[in-house]
């Protein structure tokens, strides 16, 4: 006679433990999970936007997209990405901060990027400084002449 009562109590307890998370309101644990998930979603959206920028550049190179459409689409995507990056910097949630003095401006979109970056995180432009065709010295981005030997970089 006691076995059915114990089985009933175990059944009710297990049912309660299974159903409780579905009935619980926005408690602390739900908020923590939501915040973590929200940051993961934002990170995935940034990655998706950067992939879209690369795809648009590829389509431009292949001749599928016109110059006008390319510039419009790319600028929209860059604005979306910079919006995410701007939010991350202002959040101060342990995101990577660039030390002052180790930043440069992208020669294409003029956004601030780290000197150690190989490509601009906003527009995808290569940040590798080309060498002078005559003397091999590193040339400042957007410079028309080499500062060492005076050779035209155009």
* Residue among 5, 72, 14, 78 nearest 46 (CA): 78
Q: What is the pLDDT of residues 96-112, one digit of tens each?
A: 333 445 677 777 788 88
Mean pLDDT of 109-132: 78
Q: Residue 6: how many CB atoms within 10 A of its CB? A: 9
Given pLDDT bands bounded at 50, 70 and 90, which one contains residue 8? very high
Distance (Å) of CA 98 to CA 42, 94, 102, 104, 129? 20, 12, 7, 11, 20
Specify whether the CB–CB gap between 148 and 129 falls below 8 A. Answer: no
Predicted TM-score (pTM) above 0.85? no
Mean pLDDT of 108-123: 81
Given pLDDT bands bounded at 50, 70 and 90, which one contains residue 11? very high
Question: 19: which 2 tokens?
Answer: 């159903």
**pLDDT(127) > 70:** yes
**pLDDT(116) > 80:** no
Report the pLDDT value the prediction gives residue 130, as an integer from 0 to 100. Answer: 64
- End-to-end alpha carbon distance in the chain: 96
> What CA dihedral angle connects 137, 140, 144 and 148, to 10 degrees?
-30
Q: How far apart are CA 60 and CA 137, in angstroms?
A: 31
Report the pLDDT value the prediction gives residue 31, as an integer from 0 to 100. Answer: 46
């Amino acid at each position: 006679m006691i076995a059915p009562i114990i089985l009933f109590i175990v059944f009710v307890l297990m049912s309660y433990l299974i159903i409780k998370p579905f009935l619980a309101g926005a408690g602390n644990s739900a908020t923590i999970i939501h915040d973590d998930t929200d940051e993961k979603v934002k990170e995935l959206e940034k990655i998706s936007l950067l992939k879209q920028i690369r795809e648009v550049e590829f389509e431009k190179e292949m001749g599928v997209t016109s110059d006008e459409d390319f510039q419009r689409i790319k600028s929209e995507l860059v604005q979306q990405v910079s919006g995410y990056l701007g939010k991350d910097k202002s959040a101060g949630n342990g995101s990577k901060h660039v030390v002052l003095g180790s930043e440069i401006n992208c020669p294409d979109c003029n956004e601030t990027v780290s000197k150690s970056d190989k490509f601009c995180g906003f527009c995808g432009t290569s940040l590798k400084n080309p060498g002078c065709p005559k003397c091999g010295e590193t040339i400042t981005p957007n410079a028309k002449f080499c500062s060492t030997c005076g050779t035209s970089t155009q």
